[in-house]
Amino acid sequence: MTDVLIRNARITARGAEPCDVAIAGGRIAAIGSSLPGGGTEIDAAGGLLSPSFVELHCHLDATLTAGTPRPNRSGTLWEGIALWAEIKPALTEESVYARARKTLLWMLSHGVTHVRTHVDVCDPSLVALRALLRLREDLRGTLDLQLVAFPQEGIYAFADGEALMREAIALGVDCIGGIPHFEMTREDGVRSVEWVLAQAREHGRRVDIHCDETDDDQSRFVEVMAAQTLRQGVSGKVTASHLTASHGYNGAYAGKLIGYMARAGLHVVTNPLDNSVLQGRFDGYPTRRGHARIKEMLQAGLNVACGHDSVMDPWYPMGDGDPLKAAFVLMHYAQIIGADERPWLFRMLTDMPAAAFGLSDHAIAVGAPADLILWDVPTEDEALRRLPPRRAVFRNGVLVAEREGAGMRVLGEALDVSPPG
């Protein structure tokens, strides 16, 4: 029996002709023309129906802390890290939980139904991790949350970093992270990657490493990630985030590297909002764009996602958790503007991050979960051009967010879009 019937929707893969989509039991039951009625009917009026968004890179422990204990005056990565080190000792489970939940409701209003967040575990109390473990359970079924054990200050550069990582794994994180370019020596960086990949294989976890997020073209830890992924036999479960150093690699090395990354089945996340303002800070003129070699990676068949990253935190004081805005910036920043290239942008918010998340059927297809966004615009291009609010968001066929006047209702309540304080 049909629970929800969406009529006259445009689906990119089916071309310009509108069709009907029937939802039953939380899944897409049928797609076609003039489907028989049943359940709640919604007239899409020719609007786009897309898969929901998968946000593959954010930091919910730090979200909504911008300006605490003071603003990042320089706007640099390094001042942001220093500010975060001051914030951490004052964190409470209640404050982390409340800020993260507020941000996740913002994301849900934008059509995000799956989120991967990095959680700093360079804290002997693991306050933020404990709060987000609780939030993960509380939101289960409404929004899927993956937690990455992230050693912001290094596995070996931070005292007892390895022990804290082990504790985080035991507490139940979904993914194991690292930050090799932040370790004190190249050797420690390599050792950290080897340790993370070995732990992932032993414990059956995914990997998501902040890798080569620097303008130093000698930072080349992603090659170690590719090699260790193959040696540990965990292809398809490993994500390399940022990779901004690749912007400065010479062409011969970059070509060889991208080939090995593809062979290893690495996933990649680019984060244009943060990295467009954090990179190039040591340059004169011309100043580098400072993003990963996204086009070349896509052309080589790598699975690449676009992440929002920070939302009003010490590194980036802007943002509202809408991945579409990150894709809009990436379209310009990475010059993904050709008619044959722009379709990548929606894929970098939907099926590509879904693959890295571990979802095998995140698509508009019969039998797939009904995780959907209904738009008032007819095409992906129009969504990118106009950045409109979402008309409706479905999770497992249940309406979880909808436009209401000039605002949104999420989980049955008016969405509060004001920042804390």
Task: Give catalytic residues, as residue numbers.
Answer: 213
- CB count within 10 Å of CB 263 equals 13
Strands lying side by side in the sheet with 4-9? 27-32, 19-24, 4-9, 40-43
What is the β-pairing status of strands 407-410 and 413-414?
Answer: antiparallel
Which residue type is seen at 46?
G
**How far apart (Å, rounded) are the C-alpha atoms in residues 189 and 116?**
23
Contacting residues for 115 by C-beta, under 8 A, at least 6 apart: 54, 55, 58, 60, 104, 107, 143, 144, 145, 146
Strand partners, 32: 20
In the chain, the amino acid numbered 108 is L
What contacts 341, CB < 8 A, 6 or more positions away?
295
All residues at 6 or more sequence positions from 276 whose CB lies less than 8 Å from its CB, including other chains: 289, 290, 291, 329, 333
Distance of CA 149 to the CA centre of its chain: 15
Vertex 44 angle, CA 42 and 45, to 5°: 125
DSSP 345: H
H helical segments located in 172-248:
186-203, 221-232
Distance separating alpha carbons of residues 322 and 341, to the nearest angstrom: 21
What gap in Å lies between CA 97 and CA 61, rounded to an integer?
Answer: 8
Q: What does each C-alpha distance from 155 to 1, 128, 163, 196, 203 come to in angstroms?
A: 53, 17, 9, 9, 18
| Bridge pairing between strands 238-242 and 53-58 | unpaired
Token couple for 330: 């990436």
